[in-house]
Structure formats: C-alpha cells, structure tokens
C-alpha cells in the first residue's frame, strides 16, 4: 500500500491538466512484455541455461532440447501427455510381423526452412553423421537399435551401407533393427533421430566438426515449426514461425523467445513484472505462498527425472564400493525433500522414477546411518579418520547447492567426513563430469522416453553418458538379455536385477525425483503436463 501524505486539494487537478497537455498516451500505463506477447502471439519463456549447442547431433541437455524441438522435427513427434510417438515428418509407418523392420512413409509436403524437400536421404545422412566415430556424439547410442549401428559407431564396421538404413525413395525410409524395439516410435522422437541439412553443414565447415557454425542465426536451415531468427548469447534465443513447415497453417504462435535465466528468484520477479509467460522453475520458498493463492499461477507437473550423486570411481576414495555406498546411505532424503525443497521434489531411493513405463524398482538405497558408518570403517576410515576432503561439483542453480549443503552437514555429523562445494554454470558443470575431471558431482537425468531402459542404459560400460568410470559385465549382460526378451514382464524382471546390482555397486546414489514446478500465465493455452519436460510449441496458443 502507498503511504498517505496530506496535500492541497488542487494538486490532482494540476496532474489532470498536465496529462491533457502532453496527450493521453503520455499518461497511459505502459504495456508489459507479457501483454504485448499475447497481442503479438509471442511466447516468453524462461529456460534456465544458455544453450551449449543447437545441433541435434550434439545437444545433450534438457534445456537445449526444449529449444531444439521448436526448430527440428523427426520421423515422429512426442505426445506430451502420453510420452508416445505420433506421426511427424513420417505420416505413417509399417512394421514387419517380426518387429524387425520399420518402413516410414514421409510427407511429400515436408520442407526445410529454405524450401528444400525433406527426404529419406536427409535422415540417412544424419544417422551416418551422428554414428561416425570421429564425430564423438555423446548420444549416438540412441541409434544402436538399428542393425549394425553400434558396430559402425565403434569403428569395427567401416561401411555404412551395411547399417540397417535404406533409402527406398525420396519419401520412403526403411529401418532394420538388431532386435524388436516396441518403443521405437517414442525413441524416434529424440533429437538424435532428427534430420540435419547436409548442404548447409558442408557450406560452413566439416561434417564431423562439432563446432561447425551452421547452427547460428542466418546460417541454420531447419525443418521444424519454427526457425532460428536470433541468438544473443546469455540474453535470449528467438524462434519465429516457419512458413515452410508442413503444418504451418495450424501453428498459432508467431514467435517463442527463450530467456536463459539461471535464478528462480529472478524468474519469479520477471513473471510478476509481466516479463514472462512461463518460468522454468519457481523458488522453493515461494511454493507454499503460491499454493495458497486461488487461483494460482503455480503448476507442479510430474517429471520422469532423477537427481543423483555421480561418483568418479577411478579416483580414490571412490574406487572402493563400500565408500560410495556408505555416502549414499548416509543421506536423509526425506528431510532434504521436506526442508530444502518444500516438498516439491519427492525423496528418491532408486535410479528409475516410480511407474516409468509400468516399472517401479524393488531394490532401493535406504537412509541407514549405522550401516554407512560400518561400511566406512570397513573401508579403512573409522569415524572418518584419514578420509580426504572431497570437492563436490554442483550446478549453480537454486536447488543443488542447498541440497549439497544439507548432505555436507549430514556426512560431517554422521560419518566425520568433510566435503567442499564447488558451484559451476551448466556448461562447465557438465563438461567437467563428462571428461571425468570431477571427484564427486551432482547430476540429473530426464527420461528420453517413458521406459526404464532410458535410465539404466546410461550406466552400461562405455556409454557416452556414463560419467562415473564404472562398468560391470554382469550389469551389461542383464540389460542385453532384457533387450532381447520379447515378453514384457520378463524384460522388466531383468531390469529389476540390473538396478539392484547398480544400487549395490553404487557408482551413483539417488537423491530426489524432480517435478516440474513453474509459474504460467493463464493466457497460455494447450500447455499440457509433459513427463519428459518437452512441449510442441506449434500446439500452444496465447489468448487474452
């Protein structure tokens, strides 16, 4: 409320006359960015981090993927609500009776943003590029279900024509698989299955150069519902409606502007000031406040995500599984969920979130301080004696440093060990763990599709996203058996055994399952809860 000060009664009249003198427009209330966005069909959205890349074959973070699905489209697209695959560039597909051959029929109307037709050859080129060993794609294993793709990716097979990718004609692509993959239409929504424009990549550099500038504004040719029109580093990314998209007539938004706002407090302020329609996150301290409002802009949506401790098992003291498991057991996850995160993220005791593709893990990592002390003593560090001070790398966001501070206090109190906390911005935080220069870090993983394999496959020996240094032949064998098992119940049972082995070896330790907590303007329509955290912006609308 404004403070009240007695003034002469004629002062208001002076103010009115002043307004009339300079014109009514001068005294009108200025339109907020959000209001202007509704009028111009421009969605303003917080996206937490500056993109590291917008190359579909390079991207490996959720916030980059969020932008990417506006720019590119694969054979299939994601149904946000069900996490299943729907027709995308492929208007339909046929599956052989044995489930080993998928024949995709591409839309004749599919076009690149420069007007070129999108062809089966574009997909074949893209698959070859991401599987080329010299390219070093982190996510190349997403194409390994294709026959001989893994062998080509690992360099044991040199001839790409032996890989199960066949261009039947410009509008027909045939994929032969190593084994039946019932979730293939969902898998094909992933960015690694998206096409890239060969002529554009070759125009700006080498095909196998991960830093090729073809993705910059003015250079990029894409095939999604939007095209890249601006990328101002650390300020904003702007995508505009692509008139050459095959379904452009039904795209209601004219633009989407992504803001890399790292701090939820800043987002919260910007949202309340009318500068955003949707935030990426919300300060956890504000959740009870917003939840009490009726109506409230707060949304809490389920998310298939796990946040976990990521041990580097090649560095002492984490070469010893007893040490890793001791630290994993000495965490009161419920307390972290309740006091640090205001109950927004539930405590996690397994790597796979509950009800992930019909699977809920039986094996868990409990909170057990007594067993943790016993294991640490058995490893040669009774009461923490002789244990080195370990640095823990965290993302410099609202949640990870606070969570780690709570864990730091628990470990010092219960185990007698000390750790230091090192916050980093996302690019460095990921790079340090990817190159395994870390000793211990906090990581998160959001499902690529709704199936437990998307979590468990990460920790296979040599997987591009396995940043622990851990590998186990028995674990790999169980997942191989699961991949070759047609019976759904038997397949999930093999995964139960694999996850139990993983939690016992403890190269990672679960912390919390994330939910999507954010603020949304009521003018935003058709924004469905998305368990994978990705939305098709071509379906979104803004209405006063």
User: Using one digit for the tens of pLDDT, what is the confidence trace for 258-300?
Assistant: 999 999 999 999 999 999 999 999 999 999 999 999 899 999 9
State the burial class of residue 112 (Cβ atoms within 10 Å of its Cβ: 0-12, 13-18, 19+): buried
Q: What is the pLDDT of residues 503-525, one digit of tens each?
A: 999 999 999 999 999 999 999 99
Q: String of b and e for 7-39 (b: at least 16 CB within 10 Å)? A: eeeeeeeeeeeeeeeeeeeeeeeeeebbeebbe
Strands in 419-424's sheet, in edge-to-edge order, are 419-424, 390-395, 440-446, 305-311, 508-512
Helix and strand totals (H; E) in the chain: 18, 19
pLDDT at 486: 83
Give 434's Cβ-side CA count (13 Å radius).
Answer: 14
* β-sheet bridge partners, residue 309: 442, 509
Please determine, for residue 26, whether its predicted confidence score (pLDDT) is greater than 50.
no
Name the segment(s) of the chain with CATH classification 3.90.76.10.
62-212
CATH code, 62-212: 3.90.76.10
Euclidean distance between CA atoms 75 and 189, whole angstroms: 7
Q: Where is average pLDDT lowest: 81-85, 193-197, 206-210, 267-271?
A: 81-85
pLDDT at 30: 85
Work out the pLDDT band at 43, boundaries 50, 70, 90: very high
pLDDT at 18: 39
- Judge contact between 384 and 416, C-beta under 8 A: yes
Vertex 16: Cα angle to 11 and 17 (nearest 5): 95
- Judge contact between 398 and 284, C-beta under 8 A: yes
Work out the pLDDT band at 23, boundaries 50, 70, 90: very low
pLDDT at 182: 86
What are the C-alpha distances in Å from 79 to residues 237, 253, 290? 24, 19, 29
pLDDT at 11: 32
pLDDT at 29: 67
- Residues with Cβ within 8 Å of 423's Cβ and at least 6 positions away in sequence, in order, are 394, 395, 396, 400, 401
Q: 488-505 and 321-329 helices cross at what angle (nearest 10)?
A: 100
Q: What is the pLDDT of residues 115-149, one digit of tens each?
A: 999 999 999 999 999 999 999 999 999 999 999 99
Tokens 């489209």 appear where?
A: 73
Choose the CATH number for 44-48+215-301+517-542 among 3.40.190.10, 3.40.640.10, 1.10.287.1060, 3.90.226.10. 3.40.190.10
- Judge contact between 110 and 246, C-beta under 8 A: yes
Tell me which residue of 249, 215, 242 sits closest to 227, measured CA to CA. 242
Q: What is the pLDDT of residues 94-104, one digit of tens each?
A: 999 999 999 99
Work out the pLDDT band at 32, boundaries 50, 70, 90: very high
Mean pLDDT of the 299-304 span: 93
Please determine, for residue 15, whether its predicted confidence score (pLDDT) is greater than 50.
no
Please determine, for residue 21, whether its predicted confidence score (pLDDT) is greater than 60.
no
357 or 191: which leads in pLDDT = 191
Euclidean distance between CA atoms 416 and 422, whole angstroms: 20
Name the segment(s) of the chain with CATH classification 3.40.190.10.
44-48+215-301+517-542
**Is the bond into 317 cis (omega within 30 degrees of 0)?**
yes
How many residues are there in the chain? Answer: 544
Mean pLDDT of the 385-406 span: 96
Work out the pLDDT band at 387, boundaries 50, 70, 90: very high
pLDDT at 35: 97
Helices (H), ranges, 132-217: 149-153, 184-187, 198-204
Please determine, for residue 7, whether its predicted confidence score (pLDDT) is greater than 70.
no
Concatenated DSSP letters of 58-85: T--SHHHHHHHHHH---SEEE-TTT--E
Mean pLDDT of the 336-352 span: 96
Name the segment(s) of the chain with CATH classification 3.10.105.10.
305-513
Mean pLDDT of the 360-378 span: 98
DSSP 240: E
Please determine, for residue 3, whether its predicted confidence score (pLDDT) is greater than 60.
no
Q: 174 phi and psi, to 5 degrees?
A: -110, 130
Looking at the domain covering 305-513, what would its CATH class be? alpha beta
Q: What is the pLDDT of residues 474-499, one digit of tens each?
A: 999 999 999 999 888 999 999 999 99
Euclidean distance between CA atoms 248 and 226, whole angstroms: 9
Work out the pLDDT band at 24, boundaries 50, 70, 90: very low
Please determine, for residue 84, whether its predicted confidence score (pLDDT) is greater than 70.
yes
Please determine, for residue 462, whether its predicted confidence score (pLDDT) is greater than 70.
yes
């Amino acid at each position: 409320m404004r403070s009240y000060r007695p003034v002469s009664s004629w002062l208001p009249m002076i103010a009115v006359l002043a307004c009339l003198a300079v014109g009514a427009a001068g005294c009108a209330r200025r339109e907020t960015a959000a209001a202007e966005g509704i009028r111009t069909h421009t969605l303003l959205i917080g996206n937490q981090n500056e993109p590291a890349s917008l190359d579909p074959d390079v991207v490996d973070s959720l916030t980059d993927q969020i932008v990417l699905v506006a720019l590119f489209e694969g054979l299939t697209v994601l149904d946000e609500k069900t996490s299943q695959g729907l027709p995308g560039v492929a208007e339909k597909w046929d599956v052989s009776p044995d489930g080993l051959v998928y024949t995709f029929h591409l839309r004749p109307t599919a076009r690149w943003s420069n007007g070129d037709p999108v062809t089966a050859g574009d997909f074949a080129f893209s698959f070859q590029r991401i599987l080329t060993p010299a390219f070093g794609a982190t996510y190349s294993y997403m194409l390994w279900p294709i026959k001989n793709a893994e062998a080509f990716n690992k360099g044991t097979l040199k001839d790409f024509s032996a890989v199960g990718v066949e261009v039947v004609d410009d509008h027909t692509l045939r994929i032969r698989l190593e084994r039946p993959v019932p979730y293939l239409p969902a898998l094909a929504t992933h960015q690694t299955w998206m096409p890239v424009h060969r002529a554009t990549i070759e125009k700006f550099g080498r095909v196998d150069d991960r830093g090729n500038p073809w993705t910059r504004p003015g250079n990029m040719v894409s095939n999604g519902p939007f095209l890249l029109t601006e990328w101002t580093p650390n300020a904003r990314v702007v995508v505009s409606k692509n008139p050459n998209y095959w379904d452009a007539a039904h795209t209601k938004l004219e633009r989407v502007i992504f803001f890399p706002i790292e701090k939820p407090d800043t987002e919260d302020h910007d949202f309340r000031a009318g500068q955003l329609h949707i935030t990426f996150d919300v300060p956890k301290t504000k959740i009870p406040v917003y939840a009490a409002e009726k109506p409230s802009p707060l949304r809490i949506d389920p998310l298939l995500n796990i946040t976990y401790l990521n041990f580097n098992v090649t560095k002492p003291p984490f070469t010893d599984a007893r040490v890793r498991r001791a630290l994993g057991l000495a965490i009161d996850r419920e307390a972290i969920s309740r006091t640090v995160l205001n109950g927004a993220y539930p405590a996690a005791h397994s790597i796979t979130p509950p009800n992930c593709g019909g699977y809920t893990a039986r094996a868990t990592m409990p909170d057990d301080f007594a067993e943790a002390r016993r294991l640490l003593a058995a490893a040669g560090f009774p009461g923490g004696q002789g244990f080195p001070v370990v640095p823990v790398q965290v993302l410099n966001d609202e949640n990870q440093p606070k969570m780690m501070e709570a864990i730091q206090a628990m470990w010092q109190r219960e185990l007698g060990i000390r750790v230091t906390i090192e916050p980093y911005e996302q690019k460095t935080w990921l790079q340090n763990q990817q190159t395994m220069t870390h000793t211990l870090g906090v990581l998160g993983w959001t499902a690529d599709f709704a199936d437990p394999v998307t979590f468990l496959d990460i920790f296979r020996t040599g997987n591009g996203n396995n940043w622990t240094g851990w590998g186990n032949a028995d674990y790999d064998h169980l997942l191989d058996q699961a991949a070759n098992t047609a019976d759904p119940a038997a397949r999930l049972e093999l995964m139960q055994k694999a996850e139990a082995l993983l939690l016992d070896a403890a190269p990672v330790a679960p912390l919390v399952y994330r939910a999507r907590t954010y603020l949304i303007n009521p003018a935003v329509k058709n924004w469905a809860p998305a368990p994978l955290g990705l939305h098709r912006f071509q379906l979104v609308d803004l209405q006063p």
